[in-house]
Structure 1
Amino acid sequence: MHLFDFENSYATLPAALHSQQHAQPVADPQLFALNDELVRSLGGDPDDFRTEFGVSCLAGNAVPKGATPLAQAYGGHQFGQWNPGLGDGRALLIGEIVTANGRFDMQLKGSGRTSYSRAGDGRAWIGPVIREYLISEAMAALGVPTTRALAAVTTGENILREGPVPGAILTRIASSHIRVGTFQLQAFRGDTDALRALYDHTVARHFPNASNIFEVTAQMIDRQCDLVARWMSLGFIHGVMNTDNMTVSGETIDYGPCTFMDTYHPSTVLSSIDRQGRYAYGNQPSIAAWNIAQFASSLVPLADDQDAAVETLNAMMGTFQDKWQAAWARHFCPKFGLSPTKDATGIARRFLTIMAETGADFTQTFADIDAPLTHKDYADWRSDWQNLAPDMSIAAQSNPIVIPRLHHIEAVIQSAVANDRKPFDAMLAAVTKPFENHDLYSRAPAPEERVTATFCGT
């Protein structure tokens, strides 16, 4: 049966970059969710994925024609510490879907052990699968570059975490799964041939207009500034911005201990594994710059004059702050109905200070930006804002009413564990139409509903 037009150009790259293998079969795969719209946009028929063969492919029990399953090798700086022993420990790149709009990776997450699993079982349970499905689709609806959820299947098997939990597999779509850590690993190994092959492959796929490592780095800076500014304009905290969780395509990837803030504060950290606050909301731009610097460093071995390349790349990293400020203004000022000018940027930053000092809910406050706040500086701020003649239609288009809040996600997961999928369907319908009022999903959590920590869930 034809599902998609598959190839896998990544499988032709040197063996140092991947390990070809099949998924571990599961006992009783059942379709939990299918993204019909995404299937169609990639040239497929949703009905084909609802057949026994289609579900088997989504579970890894069967391989579609043209696909070449493989696990990708990469390293990464995890909380600042270099680790060369990473890679796809619970995921397989099934193949590349060839469409009129380019190639898109199809990956299974939770498909069993790979060469890079270390002590892990390579599986996923329904909780993190649901979380990634809901949040990645919400991000897509909000216009944020992101990996997408194509499908989720349950496996008919329990896996052990703190106790037995139902197993599941997520099918993820991405422009590619090439990470900063993919480049770092080959540079660390000193395998210039593999590094060059990876670079050529990546440039052809993601940087077709770049003619050298400096132009690639410049585009990386632009993409990451824009991406992180988009995150922050929505109150989003990735939670684990390790270099192995940063794509060179500029898409958001790996929705582990991530969150959309409820109460705004720049030092907010909800990730249970971020004990030092390295990836706090307000630290995200500086971490992005640090990660790009690691990427740039990994390209140096490809330069004819490496000393000159280091000097040029260091100078290029000096442009990050100005580009970041421009990206921040480009995404924050419209939330106030303003164009990104110096005065508008000042207005935006003053308002965030007021929000932090009043404990305002990030999403609700912006969704009703014209509502007053009780703060000693608010009246002066409002007068200055009004003097800039804000266009409230622009503000309405920039401020979502609904985000995937953690307490709702947790409730959906608990219902799914109890074999009730209705809350998942209801929440998915709400978060994929974020500028519409959805009653329950439009409200901030009550104090007793707030989730104070998020977990990786792997």
Structure 2
Amino acid sequence: MINLNIKDTFNKELPADPILENSRRQVEKACFSYVHPKRTSKPELLHVSPEMIENLGLSKEDSQSDIFLKIFTGNTLLPNTKPYAMCYGGHQFGNWAGQLGDGRAINLAEVTHKNKRWALQLKGAGATPYSRTADGFAVLRSSIREYLCSEAMYYLGVPTTRALSLALSGDQVLRDVLYNGNPEYEKGAIVCRVAPSFLRFGNYEILAARQDFSTLKILVDYTVKHFFPHLGEPSKETYLAFFSEVSQRTLDMIIHWQRVGFVHGVMNTDNMSILGLTIDYGPYGWLEGFDYGWTPNTTDRQHKRYRYGNQPNIGLWNLYKLANALYPLIEETDGLEAILDEYKTGFEVKFLEMMRSKLGLLIKDDSDVALIKDLENNLLLTETDMTIFFRKLSDFNNEKASEGIKVVKDAFYISEEITEDIQQKWNTWFEKYAERLSREEVTSEERKEKMNLVNPKYVLRNYMAQLAIDDADKGNYKLIDDLFQLLKNPYNEQPEHEKWFAKRPDWARHKVGCSMLSCSS
């Protein structure tokens, strides 16, 4: 038997749904419902994260055992555990959606190892009381994307949930990928994802919306006790400090998203972690061409609410909704509004700091705001790959400003679009950038080293994930591991993997899964 140090708290300290029947329903005055994963017909383990195995206190041999496969595909329960699905609500695309909950996620247990707490959650292991009209399963396509991306984000330095394992269920799952009335059967899969907690803004919102303030207080006190213990005992001041820290963690997470060009795609309040972690990897994507208006989500195609340039604003909007949910425990608006104002001013400060780091600027200078704005305007003149541009920029020699555009030329998708006018605008910018760099007190080599620590060379572009998915559909899972290994060192040169340091290929520009994605999984 696998020896995990199980220390469950969520399903022991919080109110449970008294109904044990696994039927779709409204669950009130409870934070979760007990539910068992559905047994699968022929489970097969495709990949395991060695780092997460170690974080849980397990060994490589443990991960290769039959019992590991059974537990992390939902076919066997860990001893003395009671799996459950969490109850939460949420604002979806700006509108209150009421109860949502873990419709295809089942929490197995909480584990502690080396003074760290990890919640183990199976995604795609069957229906729960919160599944509504869905089946609770997940397909291999979306499971590969979540498994690879959550680990890739971790190594990029972005706050995120993690992934332990990826497995086939052996069952077929019916999905309508494009929501166009043409469903097809796909391979079913299960991801075991891991985080200190999967609590979301929506866990608190649903209780406030139902005016169940007693349960709301129990949940907030539980959250502070286990995840913000440094804030002290429950009080109005503690709740304000709690909201302030959640606000700052959310801001830090989104600044990281903007830094690496990541677009979440579905920033509904039920997809916002109370710990400031990137959670729920659905129709996400990395910017190919730099574009503030880009969203990877087909559902968001018309209004582009969750576009790249709007993510900081949506973070603030979601925090307003969390503030409304916490208000019954605080009963005054001044403190909450002050924290929300801090988010606004904090974004301006942290965004500027982040952009300075991407440009290799260590000394603060009043001219930096204009320099950055001019850069953003230039990046929009023609389709320019964000990842390649900033990585190549570290090779710029400020004593050869006139050659700047040559340094970054590989980032331009269509070189013929670089007209004389566009070239002149770039030349002007590089001259200003060179003059600004001349006032820095570091060598070109030192600047390059620092820039390459914040500007990744490799990110999980959608076409890369799609190639792994296409291979996996044919029974070839090697590319999953190849990409997993590549993305563990996103800031390193890795010359043996240079083929992945390239612009999105033309075949992927409009291919399903490479440009736009749906929430279908």
Q: TM-score range by the shorter chain?
A: over 0.9
- Cα-to-partner distance string for 1:14-47 (whole Å, 9 max, x where unaligned): 1210001210110111111101121112211132
Kindly provide the CA deviation profile for residues 164-206 of structure 1, in whole angstroms up to 9, marking residues without a partner as x.
Answer: 1111100000121000000000111111121111101111222
Change (3 A) 1:213 1:222: same
In structure 1, the residue corresponding to 2:333 is in which secondary structure?
Answer: helix
Give the stretch that moved more between structures: 103-112 or 366-375: 366-375
Aligned to 1:297: 324
Matched, 1:125 2:139: yes
Percent identity, aligned pairs only? 31
- TM-score normalised by the chain length of structure 2: 0.85
- Does 1:91 find its partner at 2:105? yes
Determine the structure 1 residue equivalent to 2:378.
354
The aligned amino acid for 1:454 is L
In 2: Cα distance, 1:334 partner to 1:260 partner: 20
Q: CA–CA distance in 2 between the matches of 1:245 and 1:340?
A: 37
Aligned residue number for residue 448 of structure 2: 392
How much has 1:379 moved relative to structure 2? Answer: 2.1
Determine the structure 2 residue equivalent to 1:334: 357
Cα distance, 1:340 vs. partner? Answer: 7.0
Q: Distance in 1 between matches of 2:56 and 2:429?
A: 47
* SS of residue in 1 equivalent to 2:2: coil
The number of residue pairs the alignment matches comes to 454
Equivalence map 1:291-440=2 (5 Å): 291-303=318-330, 306=331, 309-339=332-362, 341=364, 342-369=366-393, 370=396, 371-372=404-405, 375=422, 376-389=424-437, 391-435=447-491, 436-437=493-494, 438-440=497-499
* 1:31 aligned onto 2:19: no
1:345 offset after TM fit, Å? 3.9
Within the candidate set 259, 268, 273, 2:294 is matched to 268
* Counterpart residue identity of residue 191, structure 1: D
CA displacement at 1:210 relative to structure 2: 2.4
Work out whether residues 462 and 515 of structure 2, in 8 Å CA contact, stay in contact via their aligned partners in 1. Answer: no
Check the 8 A contact 1:105/1:175 in 2, yes or no: yes
Give, in whole Å, the separation in 2 of the partners of 1:125 and 1:392: 42
Partner of 1:4: 4
User: Which of 195, 206, 214 is the matching residue for 1:193?
Assistant: 214
Let me know the Cα RMSD of the aligned residues.
1.5
CA distance in structure 2 between the aligned counterparts of 1:380 and 1:4, rounded to whole angstroms: 60
- Could you report, residue by residue, the CA deviation over 1:319-345 in whole angstroms, capped at 9, with x for unpaired residues? 221101122123221111113734334
In the alignment, structure 1 residue 445 sits paired with structure 2 residue 504: yes
CA contact (8 A) 2:508 2:515 kept: no
Q: What secondary structure does 2:103 align onto?
A: coil
Letter of the 2:350 counterpart: A
SS in 1 for 2:357: helix
**Distance in 1 separating the partners of 2:104 and 2:363:** 43
Q: Does 1:144 align with 2:158?
A: yes
Distance in 1 (alpha carbons) for counterparts of 2:353 and 2:36: 44
Moved more, 196-205 or 176-185: 196-205
Amino acid at match of 2:466: E
Moved more, 92-101 or 229-238: 92-101
Larger-Rg structure: 2
> 28, 35, 46: which is aligned to 2:60?
46
Superposed displacement of residue 63, structure 1:
1.1
Instruction: Name the amino acid aligned to 1:281.
Output: Y
Q: Structure 1 CA distance, aligned partners of 2:363 and 2:343?
A: 18
1:391-443 superposed Cα distances (whole Å, 9 cap, x missing partner): 22211111111111111111110110110011212122212221234222111
3-state SS, counterpart of residue 255 of structure 2: helix
Q: Secondary structure at the match of 2:230?
A: coil
TM-score, normalised to structure 1, is 0.96
